[in-house]
Structure 1
Amino acid sequence: MSSIEEVKGILDATLSLGGRAKRFDRDTALLGALPELDSMAVVSVLTACEERFGFIIEDDEVSGETFATLGSLADFVDGKINEL
């Protein structure tokens, strides 16, 4: 089961996108494409994912590729969920 819709909700709420994330698809670019997604926002998104899904993200697990697209972020979240 993909968590992509929940990740969209986290992005929308954390980045204050006002519903724009609802139109995102797997190929929507994130890092470098959304001005709202700066380094502090990345930390906030990761924290929100940890709280929502109940996993812990280690610093060395995350790279720029994790936030390349909505799909890559959702795949990362799904991988962490599968580790539980």
Structure 2
Amino acid sequence: MTETTSIDAILRGVLRDVLGLDDARVAAFDADTGLFGHLPELDSMAVVSLLTEIEDRLDIVLEDDEIDGDLLETYGSLLAFVTAKRGGA
């Protein structure tokens, strides 16, 4: 399993667990799947829980100045950001 594949699996697990989404729905996410503003489960309160869980499970620190609307626009943008934070591809 590559680093990116591992991060993808962990990130999908975080979205499933924090937002209470079913496995099939999360498995269907692709790079263009909209997140904030598209998933009713991902409201402003859930963002904090989501980001905290990402930090915990992926052992990264998200700085305040890194968090913006683009980060949670799509699944692809979130995955790319987290992969870069982990030093991946």
TM over 0.5: yes
Please state how far the C-alpha of 1:30 moved relative to its aligned partner.
Answer: 0.6
Which runs of structure 2 are paired with 1:56-67 in the superposition (5 Å)?
56-67=61-72
Match of 1:5 in 2: 9
Match of 1:70 in 2: 75
> In 2, Cα distance between the equivalents of 1:17 and 1:53?
20
Give the paired residue count: 83
> In 1, Cα distance between the equivalents of 2:12 and 2:28?
9
Q: Which amino acid aligns with 2:14?
A: I
Runs of 5+ unmatched residues, structure 1: none
TM-score scaled by length of structure 1: 0.90
Please state how far the C-alpha of 1:5 moved relative to its aligned partner.
Answer: 2.4
Q: Which amino acid aligns with 2:37?
A: G
Does residue 25 of structure 2 align to residue 35 of structure 1?
A: no
Identity, % of aligned positions: 46
Q: Which amino acid aligns with 2:41?
A: E
Does residue 30 of structure 2 align to residue 25 of structure 1?
A: yes
The list of structure 1 runs, each at least 4 consecutive aligned residues, that deviate by more than 3 angstroms after superposition, is none
